[in-house]
Chain A
Amino acid sequence: MSKAGSTHTEQGHLSLLVTVLAFALPVIFILVPLAIFLIYSFFSVDQGTIVYAPTLGNYVRFFTDPIFLPVFWNTIVLCVSVAIICILLAYPAAYFLTTLKGRWRYALLMLLLVPLLMSYVIKIYAIRSILGLNGFLNKALVATGTLEQPSTLFVFNMNAILLTLSLLLIPFAILPIFLSLERIPQTLLRASDDLGASGLQTFLRITLPLSLPGVASAASFVFVLAIGDFLTPQMVGGISGFTFGRILYSQFGTAYNWPFGAALSVALAIVVICAILIGERFGRSRGTSI
């Protein structure tokens, strides 16, 4: 009896310790840094040193300075375009996968998802070498006679960022769309067919509406990843491809204005949170109503 009691208190101590650890780790290393970061955005910098006094100056500067808002909007438009391109390519591919049977379906899905696990930096590098002035794309276009001489259309500008991000992020669009298409009950399609609908009608009236939640989460995934990416614009953007991420990063490097950089990050975080919430909202409400 006493032995059982002592193991009970031992277990009590142990579970208390585990509880503290379970909370401490995420709180100390995730929540606290993010909180400090948020607080930092209300500080300011005076002659290279950080002034620890609360001010709204950084946010005022973000909204009033003519530099930041246009880049911010341009970056959002760029990332929305990336999401649209990814969905236009991923939707037919995902749809094709669901028409396949059994093992082929998943084998092909894996094949389209594996590039996700390949080194990000390396893919950017390779895409840059493909798009470059001496790259394979230009050589192919010149060889086929489409272009007379190599074009600088795809290198070191916004087009390059758009193409590279789209290429990198397509798999993130394929998966959610595939999952939502796969969830559509076959009986609905057969019923539609029985009632005399054509293939196109069935697609437009049944498959497409039921797969929209997947499209919404795909769009939100791709958008969030695109807007958070700083490496791609830095690598392929050149001087003219200036995105919000690059401005943000420069505040921590050359400009050495951490509080302002933190405020810019907060703006970025708000956009990301909104995109995730919108994706969740549309991805879920339709999904549960089925």
Chain B
Amino acid sequence: MSALPRPSTLFLAAITTLVAVLLYSPLFVPIVSSFFTISHGDVDWSSPTLSTYRTLAGNHDILAALRTTLIVGLCTVVLSVVSGTLLALYYHGRRSGRSVLQFIIFLPFLMPPIISGLALLIFFREIGLERSLLTVIIGHTVFVLAIVYRTVLMRLQSMSRTLVEASYDLGATGWQTFWRVILPNLSSAMVGGAILAFALSFDETMITILVTGTQSTLPVRLWAMMRLGFSPDINALVALILMFTVLLCVLAARFLIPRQMATERA
């Protein structure tokens, strides 16, 4: 149907390609370099090797940081999904105070993380809470709460009221309706929110730097390592983390998108 592409279309396509290259080059460079040895800043392209991955497996610092990141991530997911869902359920359909509280929940997300992090740092000091993994978990939860809240609230709003009414009509109690009707309908939004929360927590650096004690998470550890200079095993780590993130993206999309599209079509 369409004729030959016009010059303007070609121009737009060229810029889009440029943008894609710009966005993906910082992702591919470390992945590609991870399979080659680097000496004196020059990459030896002749012989691909897995040696950087072997070095990485023996790097206890990194493995400890990875474990910390996972612990923080899982605790953050549990806390933010439980409280985010409760908050969404509470504020769904309620007018009084909702906009104010919603604003407060979104504050840490709108404010630069350096401000949220410093505010928490001073807060923990004032209430006498030592900087530790607990303070990191609280910081992450405060930061990702808005995302989980919003994900669950959007699903609640798209949920048809007739389902709840039908449940009551059939003689179910409030609890039964909640467990058998509302919660199952929210579950995929909760899982999607949980994955997003985990991904955000996995990557959170600024707040963590400020409120962490002696244990550091992976991004913080990486940050410290990179300031000292390059190390080839970072490339291997980078490649692994990127693959892991892609997996998370695919999972999040699987839980969040198909249902929404299905409800839109229905």
CB pair A34 B20 closer than 8 Å: no
Which A residues between 69 and 109 are near B, CB-CB below 8 angstroms? 89-90, 92-93, 95-97, 99, 108
> Is B71 at the interface (CB under 8 A from chain A)?
no
CB pair B104 A27 closer than 8 Å: yes
In the complex, per-residue mask of A109-139: 1 if CB is within 8 Å of any chain B CB, else 0: 0111011011111110111111000101000
Instruction: Report the interface size class on chain B.
Output: 35 or more
A7 to chain B, nearest CB (A): 8
Interface SS majority for chain A: helix
CB pair B104 A26 closer than 8 Å: yes
> Is B163 at the interface (CB under 8 A from chain A)?
no
Known: A115-B23, A119-B219, A125-B30. A93 touches B226 (CB 8 A): no
| A36–B129 CA distance with the chains assembled, in angstroms | 15
CB pair B19 A93 closer than 8 Å: yes
Residue of B nearest to A114 (CB): B249
Most buried by B among A125, A127, A174, A261: A125
> Is A63 at the interface (CB under 8 A from chain B)?
no
Which candidate, B48-56, B115-123, B153-161, B181-189, is the interface stretch facing chain A?
B115-123
CB pair A125 B15 closer than 8 Å: no
Instruction: Report the interface size class on chain A.
Output: 35 or more
Residue of A nearest to B107 (CB): A30
In the complex, per-residue mask of B78-92: 1 if CB is within 8 Å of any chain A CB, else 0: 000001001100110
CB pair A93 B16 closer than 8 Å: yes
B contact residues around A32 at 8 Å (CB):
123
In the complex, per-residue mask of A32-48: 1 if CB is within 8 Å of any chain B CB, else 0: 11101100100000000
CB pair B23 A170 closer than 8 Å: yes
Residue of A nearest to B33 (CB): A129
A contact residues around B23 at 8 Å (CB):
112, 115, 167, 170-171
Residue of A nearest to B25 (CB): A130
Which A residues between 184 and 207 are near B, CB-CB below 8 angstroms? 199
> Is B57 at the interface (CB under 8 A from chain A)?
no
CB pair A117 B174 closer than 8 Å: no
Known: A36-B119, A90-B19. A122 touches B241 (CB 8 A): yes
> Is A287 at the interface (CB under 8 A from chain B)?
no
Known: A27-B104, A32-B123. A231 touches B223 (CB 8 A): yes
CB pair B115 A37 closer than 8 Å: yes
CB pair A118 B242 closer than 8 Å: yes
Nearest 7 CB-CB pairings of A with B: A228-B112, A33-B123, A126-B26, A96-B12, A37-B119, A33-B119, A92-B15
Can you list 28 A-B contacts with CB-CB less than 8 angstroms, sorted by A residue number?
A: A23-B101, A25-B87, A30-B104, A30-B107, A31-B107, A33-B116, A36-B119, A89-B22, A92-B12, A92-B15, A92-B16, A93-B15, A93-B19, A112-B23, A114-B246, A117-B248, A118-B242, A122-B222, A122-B238, A126-B30, A127-B26, A170-B22, A228-B115, A230-B114, A231-B205, A235-B223, A235-B226, A272-B111
Interface residues of B (CB under 8 A from A): 8-9, 11-13, 15-16, 18-20, 22-27, 29-30, 41-42, 83, 86-87, 90-91, 97, 101, 104-105, 107-108, 110-116, 118-123, 126, 138, 141-142, 145, 174, 199, 202-203, 205-206, 210, 219, 222-223, 226-227, 230, 234, 238, 241-242, 245-246, 248-249, 253
